[in-house]
Structure 1
Amino acid sequence: MSTLTFTHIGGPTALLEVEGWRLLTDPTFDAPGRTYSFGWGTSSRKTAGPALSVEEVGAVDAVLLSHDHHADNLDDAGRAMLAGVPTVLTTVPGARRLGAPAQGLHPWEATTLTHPDRPTLTVTATPGRHGPVGAQVLVGAVTGFGLTWEGQEHGAVWVTGDTVLTSDVRRVPERLDVGTVVVHLGGVRFPTTGPVRYTMTVVEGRELCRAVRPRTVLPVHHEGWSHFLDGPAALQRPELAPDGGTTVWADPGRPTAVVV
């Protein structure tokens, strides 16, 4: 039996510790107050800082980066820390932009992390779409990550990354036996693009979890930025997991233990 220690740092950023591995998702460590441009007339203000600094997080084995081109997933301080990380896994175009040590993965492509004193960790890229049909041309590619290792009892740990609820995302459990979901929410929307959403809302997150039926749901990417328009719904900390499952709205900076 394995135990995942999950520490939500803020926004999409979380530290995942399991079987000696330390993985960080979407590093965002800038101070609050600044407004960032996301292109095509869109922008967002960072309203909350990280619960832990880069120094407090310490050394990590890998960064799981859903995409590199939006500051709410990789800001300046997060980008600077990548130089000290041995492995950065992200999208194929993202790896081209970032250069070494970034490695790009196509959807359903897998790679392994190895260490003599730990079980081999397999990381599989999962599909995502950061907006409506056709949005990838303007918004860019995104990816999620499935984590599996020998001795795992309750299914993969799946980090959805920034995505809306698509048919490909719904079908992830057909190829990946999921036990724990780190689900990106926020219902991202911008005034210049009207009602179009770029990430899942709480309602869509619940719908996905009803299809996946994980044991544990860990919501992230729902606070700390002005474009997270589903924030009030998230503040009510609703149950997203299906019957028999558990939703953990982790307080930033406080480690949570999850049996995986």
Structure 2
Amino acid sequence: MNITHIGGPTTLLELDGVRLLVDPTFDAPGRRYSFGWGTSSRKTAGPALAVADLGRIDAVLLTHDQHADNLDDAGRALLSTVPRVITTPAGARRLGASGLRPWESTKVGDVEITATPSRHGPAWAVPIVGPTTGFALRASSETVWISGDTVVFPGVLKVADRFDVDIAVLHLGKVQFGRTGRPGSP
């Protein structure tokens, strides 16, 4: 298995000959992305690998499509060049992709992909910020869990009940919302 961190949430995973790209973000640094309600984030670093240098991609795993810090303009353009995109059911409707609800599974090559619970914040915020998903990837040799953008809540804790995770890829970002009084700048 190989894991290449490209930047932000963007990661290339190679398991049992299957190449999976998580949350493609390839825009140049400096770009500001609006999330509505007076909130935004600014991209501070560019990708460690250019789209042209990715090689073959068998599928994109997209934790959510509604925020540009997980799917920016360059990443969105990339989607039409890959054979399969797997995301939330809501994202699948918008993108013409494959959608999985939590605990539903599909396969890409010999890798079983299971959607896992994920949530940006409190349950009441989901209608505002939209749904997210994580992914558990089971290959012949190990299980990899991709957290997606999530807080700790009972759903995410159930991942450990269902999978013996060998490797965890955690989305640990620093999106800051100045209007909420959280540390950092807007």
| 2:172 aligned to which of 180, 185, 188 | 185
Aligned to 1:105: 100
State how far apart, in whole Å, the 1-side matches of 2:176 and 2:156 are: 20
**Per-residue deviation, residues 68-110 of structure 1 (Å, max 9, x unmatched):** 01111000000000001101010000011111xx101000000
5+ residue gaps, structure 2, are none
Aligned to 1:218: none
Count residues in correspondence.
Answer: 185
Aligned to 2:89: 92
- Sequence identity (%): 62
User: Cα RMSD over matched residues?
Assistant: 1.5
Following TM superposition, by how much is the alpha carbon of 1:37 offset from its aligned partner in structure 2, in angstroms?
0.6
Per the alignment, in what secondary structure is the counterpart of residue 145 of structure 2? Answer: strand
| 1:134 aligned to which of 120, 124, 129 | 124
* Contact in 1 for aligned 2:41/2:176 (Cα 8 Å): no
* Contact in 1 for aligned 2:116/2:133 (Cα 8 Å): yes
State how far apart, in whole Å, the 1-side matches of 2:172 and 2:15 are: 24
Letter of the aligned partner of 1:134 in structure 2?
W
5+ residue gaps, structure 1, are 115-119, 197-225, 228-260
Under a length normalisation based on structure 2, what TM-score does the superposition of the two structures give? 0.94
| 2:9 aligned to which of 12, 16, 40 | 12
State how far apart, in whole Å, the 2-side matches of 1:132 and 1:110 are: 25
**Per-residue deviation, residues 105-148 of structure 1 (Å, max 9, x unmatched):** 0000001113xxxxx21100000111123110100000000001
Highest RCO, 1 vs 2 (Cα 8 Å, sep ≥ 6): 1
Following TM superposition, by how much is the alpha carbon of 1:5 offset from its aligned partner in structure 2, in angstroms?
0.6
Following TM superposition, by how much is the alpha carbon of 1:187 offset from its aligned partner in structure 2, in angstroms?
4.5
Matched, 1:163 2:154: no
Aligned to 1:246: none
Per the alignment, in what secondary structure is the counterpart of residue 45 of structure 2? Answer: coil
Following TM superposition, by how much is the alpha carbon of 1:158 offset from its aligned partner in structure 2, in angstroms?
0.4
Per the alignment, in what secondary structure is the counterpart of residue 166 of structure 2? Answer: strand
**Per-residue deviation, residues 225-248 of structure 1 (Å, max 9, x unmatched):** x77xxxxxxxxxxxxxxxxxxxxx
| 1:123 aligned to which of 108, 113, 117 | 113
Letter of the aligned partner of 1:164 in structure 2?
V
